[in-house]
Amino acid sequence: MSYLDVLSESKDLVTPGMSACQGCGGELILRKVLQISGENTIIGIPPGCMAGAGVVGWNFSNGLKIPVHIPLLDNTASLLSGVTAMYQKMGREDVNIIGLAGDGATADCGFQSLSAAAERGEHMLYVCYDNEGYMNTGFQRSSTTFKGSQTSTTPVGKVKKGKKENRKNIPMIMAMHGAAYVATASPGHMKDMVEKIEKGIAASKHGFAYLHIISPCPTGWVSKPECGIDLAKKAVKSNYFPLFEVEEGVWRRTVPNPKPIPVTDFIAGLRKFKHLGEDELAEIQEYVDKNNELLEKLTREVS
Amino acid sequence: MSKIQALTGNYSASYGAALCKPDVIAAYPITPQSSVVEKLAQFSADGEISASMVEVESEHSAMSVVQGAVMAGGRAFTATSAQGLALMYEPYFRMSTLRLPMVMALATREMTSPETVWSGQQDAVSVRDAGWMQVFVENNQEILDMIIQGYKIAEDPNILLPLNVCYDGFYLSHLSERVEIPEQAEVDAFLPPYKSRHAILDPKEPMAVDPLTPGNILIEYRKSHLEAMQEALAKIEEVNKEFADQFGRNYGGAIDTYCMDDAEIAILTIGSMTGTGREAVDEARKKGIKVGLIKVRFLRPFPVERIREALKGVKAWASIDRSVVFGWNSGPVFMETRAAVGNADSTCNFSAIGGLGGADISLDDITGCIETLDKLKTEPGKKDTLWFSKPVE
């Protein structure tokens, strides 16, 4: 079935009234993940934009049409380890066990439990929607925030100009855990994203599956809400966020990018990078190129 | 037929847990609790238990895993000590406030600093206001028995609260005693299976477990949590009796008393020091001192009425604590007992503190405490804290 049929024939399991910002990438990712996983799913969504937007419920109401729990910021993967252990014990492996967390809950304080669950090969799909910061609480820096970004904890002032450090490369780190399936995805490449969600769910029946999806954030990145998909495409096209997957230890670039655009084409639309001068932009380009070289080496054999 | 074996406190906890047939066990090793996990892992490796063992990377994850397991409809078990308990505080608080019943063995240990790995109850008492029930036991048999009773109390539909079985690290965890291990069938008859209904993650019954909750609703949850704690006081007595009828061992319920019928003065003990306390009472009685002992078993819920009743007519009393309450210059049992009796200043009373960081609480220490009480018994009011400490050379 083509990805368009998959999407048009599946139910939207998220409340229409969720309070995400206009143009939120996270909302789009959540809706697509659940459209594909369907009703036979249990999801854990820790504090962050999606939980804050109300999908984990309010008062006595559910924000989803499936069972949902808001774990702690730092224990999504271990909480779901308990859930999946029970479902395997009950012989109900058909139930999809999914975590959907922001980059803070994934790469920072939640990383210990995530890493351990991946090492144990827990049967679940963990999706990180990476909007490069703690956007729900006012755009603070996380370890996936890109170098140079202006955030509320790495402000631009007279002597400092945004975040000083490069981002932590979580998808590669997760791949090195030997997880059953690891991939990056972008809402700008929907066919690729849908296929990866499907593969991730399939892999979660026998091991740990991890998806790292770039999530344009108009409010935090200070970009136009209607430009989200365009930004998600440019992030891929510039190698700022390359698309690959690692299946049974084999690395594959799912969207080859033989003619990359300069990274400045991507970040031009984002006010969080507006203060950067030529030198800083060159440094970013250099980091992106190096990261891409590494990915090329890892994927060379099959590309 | 039950089986009799020499078991360490930790192994006794492992056997107790195994008899309760948990679905999921997740624990991280820490001194002095480690052999609880090791023994359960061995049971699992030998196919003697069917529980899924989740080999977590921390106590924070241990408590998170068991929370997930209970929310998926299972019975869960874990065990820890001191720093491990401190690390798991975040999901620990949530387990009780989501009203998810389970039992956790706690081989109690002093909190660092100063750096220590030895006995003390500071870990458990520091979280006594995190919504769990806490029972402190005297010997290894009581560890096993209270794990079984613990599930029964915790899973009662009117209670639904997790429970800690606290036993002194090293003093019980590492010392061997005679333990009677009941037959599986006897435990099965006593403890029915449990499945969470109020907080369940199951696509057949889609539910948002723990949605964002405003204060006016949250306050109702807290009220109901506190009420359940009070209901647990009666349940503890009921389960104690039921257990005594079936297994022949009666622990007295929320408190146990020794020689209290005609007592003029009393000591309150908590944990394994109680055995030494009983000896000290016997010795003092030989000298004509009318002393009795109250063993505080449950610190949460605190058995206010039973303690008040036990202290009726007592002229002087002292609590002996293996932990402290910062800011009160006393131990927690003292502070709680003062609050419970209401008319504390009409009697003579003081807090005794000892056994911190693995230090022994000796017969001489408790005898000294009883003699001090006997001397001061005609002078009502709160007296200075008595420290069981020896000057550092």
Same domain, B47 and B180: yes
Residue B135 bridge partners (DSSP) = B165, B298
Residue B5 belongs to what H/E stretch? strand B3-8
Is residue B326 domain-resident? Answer: yes
Does B94 lie at the interface with A, CB-CB under 8 angstroms?
A: yes
Same domain, B268 and B167: no
For B216-225, the CB contacts below 8 A with 24+ separation are: B217/A59, B221/B97, B225/B96, B225/B97, B225/B99, B225/B131, B225/B161
Domain containing B29 — which CATH number?
3.40.50.970
Per residue in A74-125, pLDDT (tens digit) is: 999 999 999 999 999 999 999 999 999 999 999 999 999 999 999 999 999 9
Residues of chain A contacting B209 with CB distance shorter than 8 Å: 67-69
Domain containing B309 — which CATH number?
3.40.50.920
Q: Which two tokens stand for residue B207?
A: 């539910």
Q: Do A82 and B72 touch (CB under 8 A)?
A: yes
Share of chain A above pLDDT 70, in %: 99
The alpha-carbon gap from B210 to the nearest alpha carbon of chain A, in Å, equals 6
- Alpha-helix runs per DSSP H in chain B: 9-19, 34-45, 59-71, 82-87, 89-97, 122-126, 140-154, 184-190, 215-247, 273-286, 304-310, 332-341, 363-376
Q: Do B76 and A82 touch (CB under 8 A)?
A: yes
Q: Which residues of A touch B (CB under 8 A)?
A: 39-42, 51, 54, 56-72, 74-75, 78-90, 95, 112-113, 115-116, 119-120
Q: Do B201 and A42 touch (CB under 8 A)?
A: yes
Q: Do A62 and B52 touch (CB under 8 A)?
A: no
Does B100 lie at the interface with A, CB-CB under 8 angstroms?
A: no
Is residue B267 domain-resident? Answer: yes
Residues of chain A contacting B58 with CB distance shorter than 8 Å: 112-113, 116
Per residue in A153-212, pLDDT (tens digit) is: 999 999 999 999 999 999 999 999 999 999 999 999 999 999 999 999 999 999 999 999
The structural domain count of chain B equals 2
Distance CA A194, CA A7 (A): 8
Q: Decide if A120 contacts A81 (C-beta within 8 A).
A: yes
Same domain, B184 and B225: yes
Closest chain A residue to the Cα of B62, Cα to Cα: A78
Is residue B392 domain-resident? Answer: no
B344: which DSSP letter? G
Does B217 lie at the interface with A, CB-CB under 8 angstroms?
A: yes
Predicted complex: ipTM over 0.85:
yes
Q: Cα–Cα–Cα angle for B21, B23, B24, nearest 5°?
A: 120
Domain that holds residue B166: 3-247
A47: which DSSP letter? T
Distance CA B237, CA B251 (A): 9
Distance CA B244, CA B241 (A): 5
Does B83 lie at the interface with A, CB-CB under 8 angstroms?
A: no
Residues of chain B contacting A116 with CB distance shorter than 8 Å: 56-58, 61
Domain ranges of chain A: 3-299
Q: Which two tokens stand for residue B190?
A: 């006593």
A89 in helix, strand or coil? Answer: helix
Distance CA B313, CA B261 (A): 10
Same domain, B198 and B109: yes
Q: Do B68 and A86 touch (CB under 8 A)?
A: yes
Is residue B393 domain-resident? Answer: no
Give the CA distances from residue B51 to residues A50, A66, B35, B67, B75, in Å, rounded to whole numbers and listed in that order.
34, 27, 17, 15, 9
Closest CA to A266 of A293, A226, A239, A244: A239
Same domain, B141 and B234: yes
Distance CA B160, CA B154 (A): 5
Per residue in B222-246, pLDDT (tens digit) is: 999 999 999 999 999 999 999 999 9
Q: Mean pLDDT score of chain A, rounded to an integer?
A: 96
Strand ranges in chain A using DSSP code E only, listed in sequence order? 41-44, 68-69, 96-102, 124-130, 181-185, 208-214, 244-247, 250-253
- Residue A202: CB atoms within 10 A of its CB come to 13
Same domain, B189 and B278: no
Q: Do B24 and A82 touch (CB under 8 A)?
A: yes
Residues of chain B contacting A75 with CB distance shorter than 8 Å: 60-61, 64, 90-91
Phi, psi of A127 (to 5 degrees): -110, 125
Q: Do A83 and B201 touch (CB under 8 A)?
A: yes
- The whole-number average pLDDT for the span A21-33 is 97
Residues of chain A contacting B197 with CB distance shorter than 8 Å: none
Residues of chain A contacting B73 with CB distance shorter than 8 Å: 86, 90
Q: Decide if A235 contacts A241 (C-beta within 8 A).
A: yes
Q: Do A42 and B203 touch (CB under 8 A)?
A: yes
| Residue A303 pLDDT level (bands cut at 50, 70, 90) | very low
The alpha-carbon gap from A42 to the nearest alpha carbon of chain B, in Å, equals 7
The alpha-carbon gap from B163 to the nearest alpha carbon of chain A, in Å, equals 19
The alpha-carbon gap from B146 to the nearest alpha carbon of chain A, in Å, equals 24
Same domain, B267 and B188: no
Same domain, B226 and B268: no
Distance CA A242, CA B246 (A): 66
- The whole-number average pLDDT for the span B113-140 is 98
Contacts of B342 (CB under 8 A, 6+ apart): B308
Residue B71 bridge partners (DSSP) = none
CATH: 1.25.40.10, 3.60.15.10, 3.40.50.970, 3.40.190.10. Which one for A3-299?
3.40.50.970
Same domain, B173 and B104: yes
Is residue B58 domain-resident? Answer: yes
Distance CA A127, CA A183 (A): 10
The pLDDT value given to residue B378: 96
Q: Tell me the Ramachandran region of residue A38: left when phi exceeds 0, alpha when psi lies from -120 to 50, beta otherwise.
A: left
Does B73 lie at the interface with A, CB-CB under 8 angstroms?
A: yes
A62 in helix, strand or coil? Answer: coil
A22 in helix, strand or coil? Answer: coil
Residue B300 bridge partners (DSSP) = B134
Give the CA distances from residue A123 to residues A92, B45, B68, in Å, rounded to whole numbers and listed in that order.
12, 21, 14
Distance CA A132, CA B335 (A): 49
Contacts of A220 (CB under 8 A, 6+ apart): A131, A132, A133, A135, A139, A151, A272
Per residue in B8-67, pLDDT (tens digit) is: 999 999 999 999 999 999 999 999 999 999 999 999 999 999 999 999 999 999 999 999
Same domain, B318 and B363: yes
Distance CA B286, CA A97 (A): 66
Residue A85 has its nearest CB partner, among B52, B60, B205, at B52
Closest chain B residue to the Cα of A60, Cα to Cα: B211
Is residue B368 domain-resident? Answer: yes
Distance CA B174, CA B8 (A): 5
Same domain, B227 and B124: yes
Distance CA B199, CA B72 (A): 9
Per residue in B151-189, pLDDT (tens digit) is: 999 999 999 999 999 999 999 999 999 999 999 999 999
- The whole-number average pLDDT for the span A9-23 is 95
